[in-house]
Each structure stands twice: as structure tokens, then as C-alpha cells.
């Protein structure tokens, strides 16, 4: 449907609306639908990018939710909530347990909370998580190998190594959670690894701070129905909570 004669503000609102529903859009499509020049569309996208409302790409734009913020950014956001989740999650784990710990800002908080326990066997793909466990506490730490991204390993090598183990607990940091499709990830390698973590433990726990509510990332996380708990720092709303109930996952607000 063409949007002939729209003003700049209306065009930009249309671009944001399209990105909200689909996550990405090309200059060519906007040129065709809005019936203005490609240069005009590029200027609109540049303006929105300067205002930090979209991510500018070669040939189009992505929504701000289509790419995960850097670990540095995530470590500066809602750390009080993430620490509460980490401390509450750590209470589930007795000394001597075997534990899978995912990469991420909330799982780092969990690792810090677990660090003074004794005789844990830790499997993690995150170098910062591994570094949280001092050798003097009789811990065994297995660093899952693979292609590194921000100090964490992903890919087929990580999957192959993790597939050899089954643990008492697994803790997975969630990138995005909504009523539909509930739990999503920003990359296929991340989603695949998280899905295997969920299926390779007796008790699997999803850790979700409030900044991840009502967001949708591009890739569905598999095996979410295998989660035992989803731990949050605020109630995520009735619609999201209803999905957890339907899946048989216990929602815990810490």
C-alpha cells in the first residue's frame, strides 16, 4: 500500500511501525511503498539512527531490538535487579552440585553469588563466569570451547563438548521475553546452545531481568518447555506469565 505525500515525520513513524512489527526493512521497499526517492529514505533512516531509534545498515534499517546490546552496556543496566535474580538463583544450588552457567550479565551475578560455595562442578561457555570460581574452594571448572564472542564461546564445537555432560542445574540468561513467541535469542548459535543447556540438566532455570520483558529477538530458543523455573526481578505481566503456566514452568518473582 503506497503512502503518497507523507511528511517527513509521518514517513519516519511509518518506518518505526514497520520495524516494530518485522524487525528490519530495506530502502528499496520503503522507496516503493512511500513513493519518495531513495535519498529521502536514507535521510529519514539516518535521522532515526542519529536519534537512536533504529540501527542503520547497508541498504536499510534494523529495529533497536534486533541486535543485542554489548556486554559492557548490559553490565551497566539494572544491576540491582540482576544481582537479586543471581542471589535468589544461587539459593537453589547446594554444595557439591554440578551446574551449567550460561554467558551474560545476569549469569555473572549468579556466578559471583555461587563463588564462595564449595565443591561445585561448573560447566560454562563464559570466561568471566569461569574466573569467578576460586580454586581454593574445591571447585572443578570446565570451560566449554568454541568461537569466542565477547569472551564467551558458541558454535558447533561448544555444542559438541556440552553434549557429553548432564548436570544437576542449568542457568540460562534470557535475551528477550514476550507473550509471543515467549523466549527468543539474538543469534542461532546462542539459541542452539541455550536449548541444549535446557535439555542437559535436571533443573533448568531461565534468568530474566525486567529490561528483557516485551522484547522479541530474531531466533526462537528451543526446549523452553523443559525449563523448571523462570526467575524475574518484577512480575512480567499477565500475558507473559500465562505462557509460563501453559508450559508448566514456575514463575518466581524475587
For residue 14, the domain's CATH number is 1.10.10.10
Residue 231 is assigned to a structural domain of this protein: yes
Q: Residue 1 — pLDDT band, cuts 50, 70, 90?
A: very low
More confident site: 171 or 186 = 171
Give me the pLDDT at residue 159, please.
97
Whole-number Å distance between alpha carbons of 140 and 145: 16
Domain count, the chain: 2
| DSSP assignment letter at 70 | P
Residue 115 is assigned to a structural domain of this protein: yes
**Of the residues 66, 81, 103, the one at which a domain ends:** 66
Residue 95 is assigned to a structural domain of this protein: yes
28 and 113 inside one domain: no
135 and 153 inside one domain: yes
DSSP string covering 13-57? HHHHHHHHHHSEEEHHHHHHHHTS-HHHHHHHHHHHHHTTSEEEE
* For helices 38-50 and 8-22, angle between their N-to-C axes, nearest 10 degrees: 70
219 and 145 inside one domain: yes
Whether the full predicted model's pTM is greater than 0.75, yes or no, is yes
Asked if the bond preceding 181 is cis, omega within 30° of 0, the reply is yes
Predicted confidence (pLDDT) per residue in 92-112, tens digit: 999 999 999 999 999 999 999
Over residues 29-44, the mean pLDDT reads 92
Residue 12 is assigned to a structural domain of this protein: yes
For residue 226, the domain's CATH number is 3.40.50.1360
Under 8 Å between Cβ of 155 and 146: yes
Residues of the domain holding 197: 72-253
**Of the residues 66, 85, 112, the one at which a domain ends:** 66
Amino acid at each position: 500500500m503506497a503512502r503518497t505525500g507523507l511528511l517527513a515525520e509521518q514517513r519516519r513513524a511509518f518506518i518505526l511501525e514497520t520495524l516494530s512489527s518485522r524487525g528490519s526493512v530495506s530502502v528499496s521497499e520503503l522507496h516503493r511503498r512511500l513513493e519518495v526517492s531513495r535519498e529521502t529514505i536514507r535521510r529519514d533512516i539516518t535521522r532515526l539512527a542519529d536519534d537512536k531509534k533504529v540501527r542503520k545498515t547497508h541498504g536499510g534499517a534494523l529495529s533497536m531490538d534486533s541486535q543485542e546490546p554489548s556486554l559492557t552496556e548490559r553490565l551497566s543496566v539494572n544491576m540491582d535487579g540482576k544481582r537479586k535474580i543471581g542471589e535468589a538463583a544461587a539459593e537453589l544450588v547446594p554444595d557439591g552440585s554440578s551446574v551449567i552457567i550460561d554467558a551474560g550479565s545476569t549469569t555473572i551475578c549468579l556466578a559471583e553469588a555461587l563463588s564462595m560455595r564449595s565443591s561445585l562442578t561448573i560447566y560454562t561457555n563464559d570466561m568471566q563466569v569461569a574466573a569467578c570460581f576460586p580454586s581454593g574452594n574445591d571447585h572443578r571448572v570446565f570451560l566449554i570451547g568454541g568461537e569466542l564472542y565477547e569472551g564467551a564461546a558458541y558454535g558447533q564445537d561448544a555444542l559438541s563438548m556440552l553434549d557429553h555432560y548432564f548436570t544437576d542445574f542449568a542457568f540460562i540468561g534470557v535475551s528477550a521475553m514476550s507473550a509471543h513467541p515467549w523466549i527468543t535469542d539474538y543469534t542461532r548459535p546462542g539459541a542452539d546452545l541455550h536449548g541444549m543447556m535446557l535439555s542437559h540438566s535436571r533443573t533448568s532455570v531461565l534468568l530474566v531481568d525486567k529490561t528483557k520483558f516485551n522484547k522479541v529477538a530474531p531466533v526462537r530458543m528451543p526446549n523452553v518447555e523443559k525449563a523448571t523455573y523462570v526467575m524475574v526481578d518484577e512480575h512480567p505481566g499477565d500475558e507473559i506469565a500465562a505462557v509460563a503456566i501453559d508450559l508448566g514452568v514456575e514463575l518466581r518473582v524475587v
